[in-house]
């Protein structure tokens, strides 16, 4: 069993890198062309002061792209796995608090975002997805060495 | 790590530095390019104290703020449902109405907002506003709204002056849309349409029902 895991782990790490990295690149790329909406999506969580929410909305897509690129290429996997996990944790907290407070917003995860009709919200499925991605980030933190990576 | 050779490590570090550079440049560029400036050209009807919105009947009350995006389908519905009544009380000077054309949906929202601001300089904003929504393309940034077609929309409601045409073609108020964005953000407007009556937002049910909308405005003092 342990041997099997040792054999499979570099490939699992590669898979985790490609999924988490790919999702982060896609999420960043879809937002980066429309930063006003990105800022609006962050404001709609009503979690940060407005100036900070705007700054976060402008910066987040680039940070997602950066972490995603490094994960896919396999550079600084341990750190970027941790960063990816922390970002997902922050998203989960933000979505959960919006849900608990009864806000009706689009998560803005892949573009869009802002206030929407209450029946269009999908908090639970978003949280479950982000939990999965959080798990991948944690896995990469503990098992950063994988196939086809710039890290040796 | 121990078995590493120098070339691989060099490539890895170069990649890390390059990605870091892209992220840093992107963040700095994004923050700067979305910052509003105080020295932009603004339409005559615009007031900085009203969030850089286009102000109709500045001395009337109550104050009605309309936050919209010309590419937003729900804003089109609002205009088609309540625009008639809103325009009627605007013409009769029964309320101060401030329009904030936001531009978060896309490039053509910016072009449309510029054209709307140009129409305000011709004192024809109300007509242009309606005409833009009536000709709203299905889908965002379809390519249908360019300066030429926006001038044609102006012509269709009788705005035929050379100054209007030039204003649209020059993109005279393109930078002003950033001020609108920034101020709308400060007002914590996170969806369109958002309608404020004396600063208080109307809920979705009131916005989409002409009877309730009229009642809400009458309750605020529109006679």
Residues A115, B12: C-beta atoms closer than 8 Å:
no
Q: Domain ranges in chain B?
A: 1-33, 46-219
Chain B neighbors of A107, CB-CB under 8 A: none
Chain A neighbors of B191, CB-CB under 8 A: 40, 44, 114-116
In words, the CATH class of domain B46-219 is alpha beta
- Residue B7 — pLDDT band, cuts 50, 70, 90? low
In this prediction the ipTM stands at: 0.89
In the three-class reduction of DSSP (H, G, I as helix; E, B as strand; rest coil), residue A115 is classed as strand
- Residue B2 — pLDDT band, cuts 50, 70, 90? very low
pTM of the model as a whole: 0.86
Amino acid B40: pLDDT? 87
Residues B16, A39: C-beta atoms closer than 8 Å:
no
Residues B23, A66: C-beta atoms closer than 8 Å:
yes
Amino acid B4: pLDDT? 46
CA distance A75 to chain B (A): 6
Residues B1, A32: C-beta atoms closer than 8 Å:
no
Q: Taking Cα atoms as reference points, which of B168, B192, B170 lies closest to residue B180?
A: B192
Three-class secondary structure assignment of chain B? CCCCCHHHHHHHHHHHHHHHHHHHHHHHHHHHHCCCCCCCCCCCCEEHHHCCEEEECCCCCCEEEEEEECCCHHHHHHHHHHHHHHHHHHHCCCCEEEEEEECCCCHHHHHHHHHHHHHHHCCCHHHHHHHHHHCCCCCCCCCCCCHHHHHHHHHHCCCCCHHHHHHHHHCCCCCHHHHHHHHHHHCCCCCCCEEEECCEECCHHHHCCHHHHHHHHHHCCCC
Amino acid B36: pLDDT? 80
Pick from A29, A58, A103, A105 the residue to mutate for testing the B interface (most B CBs within 10 Å): A58
Supply the mean pLDDT for chain B: 93
Name residues whose C-beta falls within 8 Å of residue B24's C-beta, 6 or more positions apart in sequence: none
CA distance A99 to chain B (A): 17
Residues A63, B185: C-beta atoms closer than 8 Å:
no
Residues B15, A35: C-beta atoms closer than 8 Å:
no
- Mean pLDDT over A17-29 rounds to 98
Name residues whose C-beta falls within 8 Å of residue B180's C-beta, 6 or more positions apart in sequence: B51, B52, B53, B100, B101, B102, B103, B113
Residues A62, B106: C-beta atoms closer than 8 Å:
no
B52 with B42: CB under 8 angstroms?
yes
Residues B1, A37: C-beta atoms closer than 8 Å:
no
Considering CB atoms only, which of B12, B106, B188 is closest to A34?
B106
Residues B190, A50: C-beta atoms closer than 8 Å:
no
Residue B1 has pLDDT above 50, yes or no: no
- Mean pLDDT over B177-201 rounds to 93
Considering CB atoms only, which of A37, A58, A116 is closest to B27?
A58
B18 touches chain A (CB under 8 A): no
Least confident among A11-15, A86-90, B41-45: B41-45
Supply the mean pLDDT for chain A: 94
In the three-class reduction of DSSP (H, G, I as helix; E, B as strand; rest coil), residue A106 is classed as strand
Amino acid B34: pLDDT? 85
Chain A neighbors of B174, CB-CB under 8 A: none
Name residues whose C-beta falls within 8 Å of residue B62's C-beta, 6 or more positions apart in sequence: B95, B96, B197, B198, B217, B220, B221, B222
- Mean pLDDT over B80-91 rounds to 95
Q: What is the pLDDT of residues A58-78, one digit of tens each?
A: 999 999 999 999 999 999 999
Pick from A62, A77, A149 the residue to mutate for testing the B interface (most B CBs within 10 Å): A62
Q: What is the pLDDT of residues A116-136, one digit of tens each?
A: 888 889 999 999 999 999 999
In the three-class reduction of DSSP (H, G, I as helix; E, B as strand; rest coil), residue A144 is classed as coil
Q: What is the pLDDT of residues B37-84, one digit of tens each?
A: 878 889 989 988 999 999 999 999 999 999 999 999 999 999 999 999
């Amino acid at each position: 069993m342990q041997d099997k895991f040792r054999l499979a782990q570099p490939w699992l790490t590669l898979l985790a890198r490609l999924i988490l990295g790919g999702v982060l690149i896609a999420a960043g790329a879809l937002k980066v062309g429309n930063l006003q909406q990105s800022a609006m999506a962050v404001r709609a969580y009503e979690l940060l002061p407005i100036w900070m929410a705007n700054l976060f909305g402008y910066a987040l897509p680039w940070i997602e792209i950066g972490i995603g690129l490094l994960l896919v290429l396999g550079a600084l996997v341990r750190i970027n796995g941790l960063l990816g996990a922390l970002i997902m944790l922050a998203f989960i907290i933000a979505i959960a608090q919006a849900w608990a407070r009864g806000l009706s917003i689009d998560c803005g995860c892949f573009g869009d975002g802002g206030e929407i009709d209450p029946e269009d919200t999908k908090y639970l499925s978003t949280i479950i997805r982000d939990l999965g991605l959080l798990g991948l980030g944690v896995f990469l933190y503990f098992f950063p060495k994988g196939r086809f990576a710039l890290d040796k | 790590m121990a078995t590493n050779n120098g070339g691989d490590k060099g490539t890895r570090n170069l990649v890390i530095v390059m990605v870091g550079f892209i992220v840093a440049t992107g963040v700095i560029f994004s923050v700067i390019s979305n910052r509003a400036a105080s020295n932009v050209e603004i339409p005559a009807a615009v007031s900085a104290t009203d969030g850089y919105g286009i102000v109709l009947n500045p001395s009337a009350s109550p104050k009605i703020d309309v936050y919209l995006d010309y590419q937003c389908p729900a804003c089109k519905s609002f205009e088609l449902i309540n625009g008639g009544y809103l325009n009627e009380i605007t013409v009769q000077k029964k309320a101060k109405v401030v329009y904030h054309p936001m531009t978060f949906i896309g490039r053509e929202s910016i072009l449309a907002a510029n054209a709307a601001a140009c129409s305000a300089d011709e004192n024809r904003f109300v007509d242009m506003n309606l005409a833009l929504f009536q000709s709203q393309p299905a889908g965002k940034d379809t390519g249908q709204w360019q300066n030429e077609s926006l001038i044609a929309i102006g012509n269709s409601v009788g705005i035929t002056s050379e100054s209007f045409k030039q204003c649209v073609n020059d993109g005279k108020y393109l930078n002003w849309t950033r001020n609108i964005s920034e101020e709308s953000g400060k007002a914590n407007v996170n969806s369109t349409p958002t309608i404020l009556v004396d600063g208080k937002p109307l809920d979705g049910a009131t916005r989409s029902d002409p009877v309730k909308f009229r009642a809400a405005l009458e309750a605020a003092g529109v006679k």
